[in-house]
Structure 1
Amino acid sequence: MAKHLFRQFFEHESSTYTYLLADLSTKEALIIDPVIDTAERDAKVIQQLGLKLRYAGIEVIQGLTLVFSSTSIVSLVNTHVHADHITGSGKLKTLLPECKSVISSVSGAKADIYVRDGEVIKIGESGKTPISIECRSTPGHTNGCMTFVWHEGGAVFTGDALLVRGCGRTDFQQGSSDTLYTSIQEKIFTLPDHYVVYPAHDYTGQTSSTILEEKTFNPRLTKSREEFMDIMANLKLSYPKQIDKALPANLICGLQGDI
């Protein structure tokens, strides 16, 4: 019998992937990078599967902060403050009022729980086979980018830091191509080659990759640091269509008012 549930959802307007992970024995779960336009869809699936949104507590174990629950939960986890869509965290907190939002401590955004590099988000029954998600700080696209690693599942959720055959832009939101190159090479490409890469976006229909594939075929990351920085400096991308409303909204969890 399967111990865990994993789902990948897609939002078409911003080409955003949302990920749902759950421990089936306890019904505890977390959702990564929800989008406001598909929050009702996500809430419906969560309710159909019997997953409940509760409070996520904090406990320090062996020098790491484990974000975990004492009851069935869904934590709302964002890899960073997005500029191309409004997060669904606030909407899901309205639809499922007992849930709490999670984001990097250096994101500049409001949230219920802040995580730092090296900390672990944990769901499921302690002492059995909980889902443990390692938080790895991967700035460069933004200062507050966080990559989430599920070692047991051999999966890494890279947000906008690493995309399939690409990476996040570095020309706004305190972006730095030099910093992003270091983050990917030292925090993501050091993971085992077989780990599956699940990005926050894809614009060509690809759903995932692997660490080995990206180390081998990514046209930007197979270059030297200097070549990478030159590529990023000459992308000449237009700003995201929703940036003017997405950035301020995402700094307050996607909804006006207190979260």
Structure 2
Amino acid sequence: MIFRQLYDEVSSTYTYLLADERSREAILIDPVFEQLHRDLALLRELDLTLKLVADTHAHADHVTSAWLLKQKTGCQIALSAAAGAENVDRPLKHGDTIGVKGISLEVRATPGHTNGCQTYVLSDHSMAFTGDTLLIRGCGRSDFQQGDAARLYHSITEQIFSLPDDCAIYPAHDYNGRTESSVGEEKKHNPRVGGGANEKDFVHYMHAMQLPHPKKIDEALPANMRSGMPEDGKLPPEPDWADIRITYAGIAEVEPEWVVQNQPSVTILDVRETDEIEEPLTGLNNAISIPLSQLRDRVSEVPGDKPVVTLCRSGKRSSLALGILKNAGHDKVANIHGGILHWHGK
């Protein structure tokens, strides 16, 4: 199985990618609205087809990208039926099974943080994706959004702690950089629900906590009840000056074919050293040449009336030029994918 744990720094959210190596079909758990291009880029670079997006619950601290991913890939959206959200293709209940070819997840209802919280457990019980129900050395709060501390205690102890001790725990959040735990660890060391704590211990602990109101709750909850669909029902605007793809490394790129067809509308900046330029590229006749080593000092020579696409031998150095151009005020910039090597093979 292909497995990736992805992180959104703003909301401290973990998104999980699971994919079968043979079928190349993929699942995303708890994706984040602002990370759409990152997630699409990873799917593309790993040659995966997204079939299913599954949120563990209706989040209060970030907006899901489930609806956006469905528009982009045709995948289905899965969420607890108890959440009552719109645009859900697979309303789930306790005991259901979801997955793709080669990967199966057991659905366990684990309410208490919200009514619709679920934990997704890999069929061999080696991994559990616990959302906000069980965190690493913590758990979700129970003081708002249908929270119920006693219910949360039973969800954790009966549905998660009943898994094998070596089952890996992957939560929806961690605010201290921790990435993974296990059922055995949490049963022993979790300060709220582990170490033999009973229901009374846990409920009193949770009631004594005083936590600040989630910063994005007023925005996130209404959006997540639409599965992340914007209020106007439209996709967010994207760059319209070029056929741009964002790589998993976060680099905006265009293909050589697009550059050839759209030369008059862009400035082509060749950042190779002078001794590297042997002959003009086929189909390219209006590039300007400023070596990357000189670009910071000569960036004022780059015209500002058109978008700029950058070029070098392999596309590596030219990607560095994007930052220099942006710092100089060029807001429409992209790297030519693969550079000269890809150009010759286009």
Same fold, TM-score > 0.5, yes or no: yes
Corresponding position of 1:102: 78
Q: Distance in 2 between matches of 1:207 and 1:95?
A: 29
How far residue 201 of structure 1 moved from its aligned partner, in angstroms, is 0.2
Which of 149, 152, 165 aligns to 2:137? It is: 165
Deviation string 1:121-167 (CA, Å, 9 cap, x unpaired) is 1311xxxxx21100000000000000000133600000000000000
RMSD over aligned CA atoms reads 1.3
1:252 partner amino acid: R
Is the 1:40–1:92 Cα contact (8 Å) retained in structure 2?
no
The residue number in structure 1 matching 2:297 is none
Q: Which has the higher strand share?
A: 1
Cα distance in 2 for residues equivalent to 1:112 and 1:258: 17
- The structure with the largest alpha-carbon Rg is 2
Question: Could you report, residue by residue, the CA deviation over 1:54-112 in whole angstroms, capped at 9, with x for unpaired residues?
Answer: xxxxxxxxxxxxxxxxxxxx20100000000000112222332x111110111111211
Instruction: Kindly indicate whether structure 1 or structure 2 has the higher relative contact order, using CA contacts under 8 Å at least 6 residues apart.
Output: 1
Q: Following the alignment from structure 1 to structure 2, what is the Cα–Cα distance between the partners of residues 85 and 250?
A: 8
Q: Which residue of 2 aligns with 1:34?
A: 31
Gaps of 5+ in 2: 235-346
**In structure 2, what is the equivalent of residue 224 of structure 1?**
198
- Structure 1: which 5+ residue stretches go unaligned? 54-73, 125-129
Instruction: Confirm whether residue 215 of structure 1 aligns to residue 175 of structure 2.
Output: no
Query: 2:182 matched to 1:206?
Result: no
Deviates more, 1:199-208 or 1:104-113: 104-113
Does the 8 Å contact 1:5/1:22 carry over to 2?
A: yes
Pairing partner for 2:222 from 248, 253, 256: 248
Question: In the aligned structure 2, how far is the partner of 1:258 from the partner of 1:188?
Answer: 37
Partner of 1:193: 165
1:20 correspondence with 2:6: no
Post-superposition shift, 1:231?
Answer: 0.9
Task: Please give the alpha-carbon distance, in whole angstroms, between the structure 2 residues aligned to 1:212 and 1:120.
Answer: 24
TM-score by length of 1: 0.86
Instruction: Say how many residue pairs are matched.
Output: 230
Code of the aligned partner of 1:11: D
TM-score of the superposed pair, with normalisation by structure 2: 0.65
Q: Is the Cα–Cα contact under 8 Å of residues 11 and 61 in structure 2 kept in the other structure?
A: yes
2 CA distance for matches of 1:145 and 1:50? 31
